[in-house]
Structure 1
């Protein structure tokens, strides 16, 4: 009853269901105990132009498996910043082949080799130089992707247990570029996702590096963009 009431109150004529005036608090209350597959199904039935963002980090394959089971041809945005490990690149090839992903690769306008030649190595964290580095290798390509694809829904695999910032988010939140971010696995724990990967016999990526984070529980910046 509550979910239907929320849906009716959010949907006005032919306007998009997911928009920045939507009652996300009501949706989050309705879906707090639902399975990720139910959240995915609800979202895909109402999204007009959804996209996925992934970095192919450890356990990200579980989210990709969940999403593509519901919508196999969904655009999957990946920013190839040029600093991935060889294992990550091989993992990506494997997952793209296995799921037949509709992968949309975006690269920085300045390659890793170019950046190193001009600016040196990866700058120290929490410096203006590192902010510039992050904008160059990740945020600019991501923003370009969102500007070109113009999604109404940005699906991602974040969870509440990953860091302090994400703990304060929810399943449905306001995203940048006018999107609604949807995180179907938000209320799961890491052990739950590990079980999902094991039960579905999914290939995982154990050797991963994100040059914009530096530390595992540090926020990479995409969720902080306005």
Structure 2
């Protein structure tokens, strides 16, 4: 099935291509063997107000490079929860400058120092306290960003090989806030992304910590939001 067929199947009323009633199965079938650059090009042609979300985790620079080459001025949402490593903060400054990213930083309404003083630091995983922590430092700022920017497309760098939840997703899926999530690198493996970083001589971030996940295979919560 070609791109024209998928365009016809997904065209909406009011001229919006990406909408929650779209037939995403058609798109995922069409782009099952496509290169990330082809998915990016198609998405940029059809999206009205796309945004990127990133946490600048290891290898995330590959996705940011891919997206910024296709649309240099795309808003890049970053939630600074305040618990990043010094290496991560320096890495972010470097990547933003090197790729000329249109970075939009959103921070929690309560700083990390404030939270630590009142609640005693990062709580244990799988507790109500940790759920509250995740909502406070990541989900609330993210939801605020989505409400302010009102995107139709949320681009992210997830891959099928990262954890069990993501294995069951696809390139095009329904996201929260009425968005369609697009993951151009979904079908790649970690070695593919490592090669992309190497071939494009991109800086990477090896000293990374996400306080809302605790463990690498866990979801941080953004993909589970409705």
Q: TM-score range by the shorter chain?
A: over 0.9
1:119 aligns with 2:119: yes
Deviation at residue 2 of structure 1 after TM alignment: 3.5
Separation in 1, partners of 2:137, 2:12: 39
What is aligned with 1:149? 149
1:216 aligns with 2:219: no
What is aligned with 2:188? 188
Deviation at residue 13 of structure 1 after TM alignment: 5.4
User: Does the Cα contact within 8 Å between 2:12 and 2:22 map onto a contact in 1?
Assistant: no
Taking structure 1 as the reference length, the TM-score comes to: 0.99
Separation in 1, partners of 2:135, 2:150: 20
Superposed CA deviations along residues 148-186 of structure 1, whole A, max 9, x for unmatched, are 000000000000000000000000000000000000000
Superposed CA deviations along residues 68-91 of structure 1, whole A, max 9, x for unmatched, are 000000000000000000000000
CA RMSD of aligned residues (A): 0.8
Separation in 2, partners of 1:89, 1:69: 23
Taking structure 2 as the reference length, the TM-score comes to: 0.99
Separation in 1, partners of 2:126, 2:42: 39
1:26 aligns with 2:26: yes
Larger mean CA deviation between 98-107 and 9-18 belongs to 9-18
Superposed CA deviations along residues 17-53 of structure 1, whole A, max 9, x for unmatched, are 0000101001000000000000000000000000000
Q: Where do residues 155-170 of structure 1 align in structure 2 (5 Å cutoff)? A: 155-170=155-170
Separation in 2, partners of 1:9, 1:24: 9
Structure 1 residues not aligned, in runs of 5+: none
Larger mean CA deviation between 79-88 and 10-19 belongs to 10-19
What is aligned with 1:92? 92
Equivalent residue of 1:9, what SS?
helix
Q: Are residues 124 and 6 of structure 1, via their aligned partners in 2, closer, same or farther at CA, if it must alter by over 3 Å? A: same
1:108 aligns with 2:108: yes
What is aligned with 1:131? 131
Q: Where do residues 29-44 of structure 1 align in structure 2 (5 Å cutoff)? A: 29-44=29-44
User: Does the Cα contact within 8 Å between 2:79 and 2:142 map onto a contact in 1?
Assistant: yes
Deviation at residue 3 of structure 1 after TM alignment: 2.8
User: Does the Cα contact within 8 Å between 2:61 and 2:95 map onto a contact in 1?
Assistant: yes
What is aligned with 2:69? 69
Separation in 2, partners of 1:119, 1:13: 48
1:53 aligns with 2:47: no
Structure 2 residues not aligned, in runs of 5+: none
Deviation at residue 14 of structure 1 after TM alignment: 4.0
Larger mean CA deviation between 1-10 and 104-113 belongs to 1-10
